[in-house]
Amino acid sequence: MIRLYDFVLSGSCYKVRLFLSLLGQDYETVPVGFYPAKEHKKPDFLQLNPLGQLPVLRDGDLVLRDAQAILVYLASKYDPSGSWYPDDAAARGRVAMWLSFAGGELMTASAARLHDVLNYPFDVASLREQARQAFVVLDDHLAEQELRDCPWVAGPEPTVADIACFPYVALSNDGGIARDEYPAIERWLARVMVLPGFIDMPGILTPWSGEAAEEPAA
């Protein structure tokens, strides 16, 4: 059974939970006391991931850290359609480019959220500004993609790049970053939220937030 070392408020763990749900793949979670216990910095967890970060995925003998790496693995192993991680050189290059953006530039929005939600001692003004610059890049790109009738981050179909980029953009209000100025991002978020198998997490406002009875079945 796939095992995810997980913290429910982590957007990085949510990348993995969301993708496993979209795949319809069974898994179990091992809750890690991220805050305030900091179990991810203690020896037992550091044996799994010496970086002291969530998420970590175990599948048989394989132990993987980093949400982007985990998404690539899960798509490669558990998506028979091959659409989430297309087997084409240019498509893979594009997917990798946006996976890197998700794990790099967009993590400034994650850090702003850690500051606001868990009181991390970060320079939040600088983080918000960097996140806004990343959002402009993503918004411009998605607007161009729509014009090309190619409305997903890396191509005409959703890929792991969409799943990697989604959480910290969708959670940006938690870090004090409004999205009023990014209409293409808003349209893309709405597209992700109606993918079959979509699940949310605390802080993500879905069109059906507050109307649990109308929430699509996971």
Ligand X SMILES: N[C@@H](CCC(=O)N[C@@H](CS)C(=O)NCC(=O)O)C(=O)O
In degrees and rounded to multiples of 5, residue 45 shows phi and psi of -75, -35
**Least separation in angstroms between CB 121 and ligand X:** 13
What residues contact residue 81 under an 8 Å CB cut-off, 6+ apart?
none
Whose Cβ is closer to ligand X: residue 52's or residue 197's?
52
Whose Cβ is closer to ligand X: residue 41's or residue 183's?
41
- 153 vs 168: CA distance, rounded Å: 15
Binding site for ligand X (CB under 6 A): 10-12, 40, 52-55, 66-68, 103
**Least separation in angstroms between CB 16 and ligand X:** 9
Which of 81, 82, 90, 101 is CA-nearest to residue 161? 101
- 126 vs 36: CA distance, rounded Å: 25
Whose Cβ is closer to ligand X: residue 15's or residue 151's?
15
**Least separation in angstroms between CB 85 and ligand X:** 17
Nearest-CB residue for ligand X: 53
Parallel, antiparallel, or unpaired for β 56-59 and 62-65? Answer: antiparallel
- 37 vs 124: CA distance, rounded Å: 23
Residue with tokens 């400034």: 108
Whose Cβ is closer to ligand X: residue 65's or residue 187's?
65
**Least separation in angstroms between CB 191 and ligand X:** 22
